[in-house]
Amino acid sequence: MQSFKILSPFFNKHRRFASFTRSLCSLNSSSHYDNLILIEEKGSSRTVILNRPHVLNALTTPMGIFLHKLYKSWERDPTVDLVVIKGNGRAFCSGGDVVQLYQLINEGRVEECKECFRTFYSFMYLLGTYLKPHVAILDGITMGGGAGISVHGSYRVATDKTVFGVPEVLIGFHPDAGASYYLSRLPGYLGEYLALTGDTLTGEEMFACGLATHYSLSTKLPVIETQLSTSARKDFSVVETFLARYSHPRSPNSSSVLHRMEMLNKCFGHGTVEEIIAALEVEAARSKDKWFISTMKKLRAAPPLSLKVSLRSIREGRFQTLEQCLAREYQMTLQAITRQISNDFSEVRNKT
């Protein structure tokens, strides 16, 4: 097992990471986990189905523990060549179960809240270093932690039903789950824009900017999944070739933010939130363009501290590894859930 070196000091304050990992590997499958996560076995492929459709497949700690256990066991199992993950219903995954997290915080059960983040950040690191081909089928809503359990894997298939976003700043939080790693590597300053506004991308846009590796119509997925499971191979190049054969990307429509990259970079390339807002104000006054006006309004409506923290996080992530980004995000998350600096995370939720 690869060591999670940078995160270990933070985990050790509460629980030794080594023993935490051993406990994950020794857990037995139970009906409780199976109800939340379904498993399909076909030949040498394994398909994970997130199964909380009534809450858009929002993630809970037991789900994270079970995912970690499954993925570690499959990584060691020579009979497993390929892992696929998808969601049941109209969402792939809407992220962490924020309602449960708020309840834990408000009830003073902060250690349980910390365990939830430790669990999923550990899983995301495992996914980012996974030794076998991993295909995430993002056929629907994919937000926050949902991006974290997919984007870090080797392949991501977006569809015409995909809605991607990182809306954490809107609830007084920061884009986490490794978001500071993958957002900072998007073209230009698109990552900063997505992090600060909480704006969404379509499947076509995900593919165009590199967040998705492949694109398909939702109606084609049953064929892709069937063929993928019956021809599973450990060879990444074989999986890549197979997915490319079924990938039929479309160009983003004319209203896509990707067609505004020059102006987006001009505004979001500034060093501070205040300078970004000022640049948007200048362009809005000059052009009367509704995009500048709506973008400016989004930033003004968000908690100021969350904007500043999120901007700095993306900027630092540009020069860090996934491991370093997750470690730093974990520190930031601890400050948010323990209210060391601000109550925004709990207060924004209470107002909604």
Active site residues: 96, 145, 168, 176
126 within 8 A of 149, measured Cβ to Cβ: no
Helix (H) or strand (E) run with residue 262 in it: helix 261-268
Whole-number Å distance between alpha carbons of 330 and 114 = 9
Distance separating the N- and C-terminal Cα atoms of the chain: 42
Whole-number Å distance between alpha carbons of 301 and 196 = 11
Quote the tokens at residue 97. 């179960």
Whole-number Å distance between alpha carbons of 261 and 338 = 37
**CA 22 to chain centroid:** 25
Q: How many Cβ atoms sit within 10 Å of the Cβ of residue 143?
A: 23
Whole-number Å distance between alpha carbons of 1 and 206 = 31
